[in-house]
C-alpha cells in the first residue's frame, strides 16, 4: 500500500529505458565529476578570498572558516562545490555581477556540470522583506556559487570580469 499511495504517486511507476540509461551514465562518472567540482571550488574560494571586490567568503575548505578542521576530518577529498561570498556594493553590485557572468549560468539549482551563480536577495528571496531576508541568512551582498567542472582558469576569469563589472 505504501508503494502505491506514496512512491507511485511521487516518483512514478518506473524509469523509462532512456532515463535509466542516462542515470547509469551519470552515476558511472560521478566520482570523476565530484573530484573536479571539489578541486575547482577550492581554487575559486581561494581566488575570491583575495579579490578586492569581495568582502567575505564562506567555504569550509578555507583555513579561516570555523568548520575548516571538521571539514578536513569528515570530507578528506574536499568539502563540496558550493560556496558563498559577499560582494562590495551590496544589492546593486550583486545584480550587476549576475548580469555580467558569461560562462557561469544564472540558475538556482546546484551541482550541475557547469558553474551556476545566484544572488538570492534579488531573486529567490526577493519576495521577502529586508528583515526577513536577514533572518533567513540572506544578506544584500550574498552571492552563491555552485562551482562546475569547466577549466578552473575559465571559471575564475569569468568571475573576475563579472566582479570588476559589478563595481562600475
For every one of its 168 residues, what pLDDT tens digit does the chain have, with 9 covering 90 and above? 666 667 666 766 677 889 889 989 889 999 999 999 999 999 999 999 999 999 999 999 999 999 999 999 999 999 999 999 999 999 999 999 999 999 999 998 888 899 999 999 999 999 999 999 999 999 999 999 999 999 999 999 999 999 999 999
144: which strand partners?
Answer: 84, 118
Predicted confidence at residue 3, as pLDDT, reads 64
Predicted confidence at residue 79, as pLDDT, reads 96
- Evaluate whether residue 109 is within a structural domain: yes
| Separation between Cα atoms, residue 102 and residue 95, nearest integer Å | 14
Overall number of domains in the chain: 1
- Evaluate whether residue 30 is within a structural domain: no
Predicted confidence at residue 15, as pLDDT, reads 76
Domain that holds residue 87: 35-166
Predicted confidence at residue 16, as pLDDT, reads 81
Please say whether the beta carbons of 136 and 120 come within 8 A.
Answer: no
- Evaluate whether residue 135 is within a structural domain: yes
Kindly report the number of other CB atoms within 10 A of residue 137's CB atom. Answer: 10
With a pLDDT cut of 70, the percent of the chain lying above it is: 93
- Evaluate whether residue 22 is within a structural domain: no
Q: What is the helix (H) or strand (E) element at residue 86, kind and residue range?
A: strand 82-87
| Separation between Cα atoms, residue 25 and residue 42, nearest integer Å | 26
Kindly report the number of other CB atoms within 10 A of residue 133's CB atom. Answer: 19
What pTM does this model have? 0.85
Predicted confidence at residue 4, as pLDDT, reads 63
- Evaluate whether residue 93 is within a structural domain: yes
Question: What CATH number is given to the structural domain containing 148?
Answer: 3.90.1150.10
- Evaluate whether residue 16 is within a structural domain: no
Kindly report the number of other CB atoms within 10 A of residue 108's CB atom. Answer: 12
Angle of the 152-166 helix axis to the 90-100 helix axis, nearest 10: 140
Amino acid at each position: 500500500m505504501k508503494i502505491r499511495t506514496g512512491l507511485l504517486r511521487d516518483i512514478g511507476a518506473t524509469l523509462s529505458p532512456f532515463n535509466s540509461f542516462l542515470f547509469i551514465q551519470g552515476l558511472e562518472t560521478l566520482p570523476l565529476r565530484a573530484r573536479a567540482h571539489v578541486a575547482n571550488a577550492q581554487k575559486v574560494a581561494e581566488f575570491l578570498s583575495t579579490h578586492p571586490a569581495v568582502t567575505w567568503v564562506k567555504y569550509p575548505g578555507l583555513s579561516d572558516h570555523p568548520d575548516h578542521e571538521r571539514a578536513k576530518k569528515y570530507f578528506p577529498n574536499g568539502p563540496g562545490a558550493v560556496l558563498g561570498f559577499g560582494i562590495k556594493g551590496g544589492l546593486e553590485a550583486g545584480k550587476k555581477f549576475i548580469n555580467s557572468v558569461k560562462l557561469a549560468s544564472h540558475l538556482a539549482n546546484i551541482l550541475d556540470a557547469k558553474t551556476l551563480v545566484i544572488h538570492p536577495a534579488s531573486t529567490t528571496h526577493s519576495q521577502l522583506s529586508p528583515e526577513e531576508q536577514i533572518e533567513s541568512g540572506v544578506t544584500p551582498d550574498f552571492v552563491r556559487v555552485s562551482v562546475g567542472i569547466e577549466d578552473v582558469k575559465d571559471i575564475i576569469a569569468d568571475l573576475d570580469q563579472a566582479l570588476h563589472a559589478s563595481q562600475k
